[in-house]
Structure 1
Amino acid sequence: MGIQKDPLGTACLDYISGIKNSEIIVQSNITEDDVLPVEYLFRPFNQMPDIEKKALTISKGKILDVGAGAGSHALYLQQINKDVTANEISENACRVMQQRGIKNIIHNDFFQLPTDTKFDTILMLMNGIGIAGDIDGLKIFFDKCKELLSPKGSVIIDSSDLRYLFEDDDGSMLINLNDNYYGEVAYKMKYKNTEGESFKWLFIDDESLKFHAKQNGFAIEKIADGPHYDYLAKLTLL
């Protein structure tokens, strides 16, 4: 990802340089444009959603924080003396994490990570499983997790069931069953004059995740439900 096409990383770098109250515009193919306050990416533990707090609490051993962003999760884990490595594809975001004092940072695409180091916890918050892109990408995702996990390790993820976007007043689903899975979304981010490329992102309901996890050699345990169709789950190797 070129720096000129890295709105999230550029926004984080501006924020830590003193430019506050900025926003990232998030465009998608299923809803109107949304706004992500850059400040939210720097939230401390006490301002995180309960699901994220729970995920950090149960993370153990050697931890890989995938898609670490500005590093808020990794920083908290480091502060409570847990062994955490932050993985982030954005070069600017990695610079931000360095400035915040995060010790172990890997600037790389998750799917290109070397497999010589094994992790007891792969942590993927803020719908981190979205990097699978779509349902077809789940096999590649699970295969990579297998390469990186220690034998008794676990993948801790949160995601959301987007059915609420397609429900009628009577609870029926207004979707085309012959179309792609309704949780497959195309996103684009923009920060000031920095516009990123479009990318695919997956939101998956817990039952579909359970099915695909089992197909790929993982058991799933739902840890918690969030307030709005979201949930936290732990995946372990069968």
Structure 2
Amino acid sequence: MNKDIFGLAITDFYHHKYCEDIIVQAPDFDDDVIPVSYLFRSYDDMPAIEQKALDLAYGKILDIGCGAGSHSLFLQEKQKLDVHAIDISKGAIEICKKRGLAKASTINIFDVKGMKYDTLLLLMNGSGIIGKLSHIDHFFIHIKSILKDSGQILIDSSDISYLFVEEDGGLWVDASAGYYGEMQYKLTYKNNKSDWFDWLYLDFNTLQNAANAHGFLCELIIEGSANDFLARLTLV
């Protein structure tokens, strides 16, 4: 069984073997769908949050969780910037290279060491890689070690509290279950299934408080139409 769901789907689409989309499963919620074509979108087809992040990117860039490489390709080809795309999906990185990315590597962000970047790019709910709120200090300690003093982090996320709003308008959250933005997902594509994995959605105030605690200024740059937002973090 191939557990590299994104890699398998991205490879099929690139080789014109696309016939179905990625199914996202979560406990207590209906299944969702990620159209594989969405991973290959152009700048003009990207939401405003992503366009703004790409417009703000500068210098030496690390595109974290790059997927099919659409953000990196725009930065490399249109903006003429030095961008390194990384993802844990081997299949995705192979397609990134076939699409023309000069620098693309299969590596976990937490294994990146010894390099410093001007821009760290975490898009498409980039906070998800943190996994759980209890891991956020580890995330900031590591991310700080690979960011230049004059650099920036561009990260998007979503406040998913709306999923827990009851009919009377009140917010129902099980306090014993931890932070409401902590989710678990499983991906399926054709006859392949991933393992369950943790994914973290952050509301802006929670992100800002954690960033401030680690010496970052956290600015709200733009809000989307689905409780999502883009934030820019710079060292104070």
Q: Which bracket does the TM-score occupy, shorter chain normalised?
A: over 0.9
The alpha-carbon deviation at position 159 of structure 1 amounts to 0.3
What pairs up with 1:125-144 in 2 under 5 angstroms? 125-144=123-142
Query: Separation in 2 of the partners of 1:171 and 1:6?
Result: 40
Quote the residue 2:233 is aligned against. 235
Q: Is the contact made by 2:152 and 2:234 (CA closer than 8 Å) also made in structure 1? A: yes
Please list the CA deviations of residues 15-71 of structure 1 after superposition, one character each: whole Å capped at 9, or x if unmatched. 101113420011112421111110000001100000000000001110100000000
Q: Is the contact made by 1:15 and 1:22 (CA closer than 8 Å) also made in structure 2? A: no
Quote the residue 2:190 is aligned against. 192
CA RMSD, Structure 1 to Structure 2 (Å): 1.2
Q: Is the contact made by 1:91 and 1:107 (CA closer than 8 Å) also made in structure 2? A: yes
What pairs up with 1:180-219 in 2 under 5 angstroms? 180-219=178-217
Query: Separation in 1 of the partners of 2:235 and 2:27?
Result: 34
Residue type of the alignment partner of 2:83? V
Quote the residue 2:64 is aligned against. 66
Query: Separation in 2 of the partners of 1:4 and 1:130?
Result: 22
SS of the counterpart of 1:211?
helix
Query: In 2 relative to 1, CA 30–118 (structure 1 residues): closer, same or farther, beyond 3 Å?
Result: farther
Q: Tell me if 1:96 matches 2:95.
A: yes
Please list the CA deviations of residues 183-227 of structure 1 after superposition, one character each: whole Å capped at 9, or x if unmatched. 000011011111111110000000111111112222100000100
Quote the residue 1:123 is aligned against. 121
Query: Separation in 1 of the partners of 2:214 and 2:126?
Result: 18
Residue type of the alignment partner of 1:188? K
Q: Is the contact made by 1:21 and 1:38 (CA closer than 8 Å) also made in structure 2? A: no
Quote the residue 1:48 is aligned against. 46
Moved over 4 A (4+): none
Quote the residue 1:87 is aligned against. 86
Query: Separation in 2 of the partners of 1:171 and 1:137?
Result: 31
Query: Separation in 2 of the partners of 1:199 and 1:73?
Result: 24
- The number of residue pairs the alignment matches comes to 235
Query: Separation in 1 of the partners of 2:177 and 2:33?
Result: 28
Query: In 2 relative to 1, CA 76–30 (structure 1 residues): closer, same or farther, beyond 3 Å?
Result: farther
Q: Is the contact made by 2:61 and 2:118 (CA closer than 8 Å) also made in structure 1? A: yes
Residue type of the alignment partner of 1:7? I
Q: What are the ranges of 5 or more consecutive residues in structure 2 without an aligned counterpart? A: none
